[in-house]
Structure 1
């Protein structure tokens, strides 16, 4: 039997007690869906902490990065582990070279250079109070979002207000991306498009809880299924086509309107190629689609000399 390893981490695995993340139920939903789908395809599924000893991967044919949601805190160790798995003949999805490229959000500059519409961004090695004041003027906005260049799930992200600026000695403390706050996150929410082997599986709308702007479930965000218009689907497919790689096994393209008008352009927020949550509750067939794509990939790998 072909065995697929699903990479998790110490804070998403059941049994981690008080250290378990507040959104780890998303891991449970994913595993429940994948176990059934993989069984139907004749695949075995093994959930493994990505930091486990390499012996834990004996007999595994391929891995998907799953809920390895602490990778941003130890990126080099994560990349080294993926390389070690490949060296053992284990197919890694998505591959290490794609992960390395996608890990630092400067990849957005590369996609913008290939025609993807992105949110205006300042790329800084750190952000000071003076940098923030300059950014307010540059973007002519009253709110700024400051994000880590290597980060996920809005961890460490801050929202700055022009009329309540940070103290003069404030410093963000990380290589950062600085963007104007777009009010469409409140009026329409973020639109996410889930692709499996290059095909659009489903889309969803993610809205923040009242009084917040972050759409992740950790902060009370609410997700609902979204039926994309042809133009919306075309915009998301255009981002996928701009990737400098072969089609990834899975991808989630996150987009946001440039303005509060529902007809305004969609801008790319993230092209999530590492360990995106695929929202099985909004996409009932995503497990089946993923299991079939894994089967095809393993068959292809097995046919190579």
Structure 2
């Protein structure tokens, strides 16, 4: 039986003293994967990505799982993935993909390749002057400021033109500035889950009442979405535009623009939650894809 690692972190591990508020999503993923992996002769083991390297002896493949603290330890995280690969362990998704995907300026590269992306300004930091510039640039009344290296809406801010922060305010991180798009509340964010390049399932994510963030930590909810053929094609085109071999998994998050076309918000390749509740055969798909990778080593 091949041993497969599921990389978690100090606040998603069931053994953690105080788990994250969304750690139940880790539990849902493991519940979906374990029986499917066992049926394919795969022994799934949850392990903290920061465990000693020797703890990974005997692992044939690791998937990045719920390593949801990586954004604050990005260099150490990438170094660990490279160290695992150097030991002959297959890392999914690859260190190359993680390096490309960790900084959200990859959106600029996708846009240059012809992808429709949410309009974005990238800045080394954001002060009030940059906000005023962005409001004029986008001709909008609300802006979303995000970390270039971040996940789960950590430190994200929604700023109104008529309620600017104090003049000495700074965001404090390398940043992306985007216009707030009402579609996030009206239609929601559409996410497309791909396993080994094939569409597994899609879902609609809506923010909770009084919020604009779609993550469960902030009251966001999800429902199954049956994508139209053009929607699925738009998401698949992003997967095919990635500058490396087909990843084991990808979550393409999209939002509809004023023209009616879908735009890429993020191409999540590192440790995205894959929503097994909306994709009942997710475990089987992942198990088959991993079994193929292991058998071809």
Give the shorter-chain TM-score range: over 0.9
- Normalised by the size of structure 2, how large is the TM-score? 0.99
Find the residue that maps to 1:215 and give its secondary structure: coil
Separation in 2, partners of 1:15, 1:242 = 39
Separation in 1, partners of 2:75, 2:15 = 26
- Picking from 277, 290, 293, the partner of 2:286 is 290
Q: How far apart are residue 15 of structure 1 and its match?
A: 2.3
**Residue in 1 that maps onto 2:184:** 185
Q: How far apart are residue 55 of structure 1 and its match?
A: 1.4
What pairs up with 1:187-266 in 2 under 5 angstroms?
187-259=186-258, 264-266=260-262
- Picking from 276, 280, 285, the partner of 2:272 is 276
**Residue in 2 that maps onto 1:41:** 40
Separation in 2, partners of 1:295, 1:46 = 15
Separation in 1, partners of 2:16, 2:91 = 25
Task: Please state if 1:10 is matched with 2:6.
Answer: no
Aligned residues: 297
- Normalised by the size of structure 1, how large is the TM-score? 0.96
Q: How far apart are residue 13 of structure 1 and its match?
A: 0.5
Separation in 2, partners of 1:160, 1:178 = 10
Separation in 2, partners of 1:239, 1:90 = 27
Q: How far apart are residue 101 of structure 1 and its match?
A: 0.4
What pairs up with 1:131-170 in 2 under 5 angstroms?
131-170=130-169
CA distances 1:5-26 after superposition (whole Å, capped 9, x unpaired) = 00000000012122x1000000
Q: How far apart are residue 299 of structure 1 and its match?
A: 1.2
Task: Please state if 1:21 is matched with 2:20.
Answer: yes
**Residue in 2 that maps onto 1:94:** 93
> Gaps spanning 5+ residues in structure 2: where?
none
Separation in 2, partners of 1:69, 1:134 = 33
Separation in 2, partners of 1:249, 1:65 = 11
Find the residue that maps to 1:245 and give its secondary structure: coil
> Gaps spanning 5+ residues in structure 1: where?
none
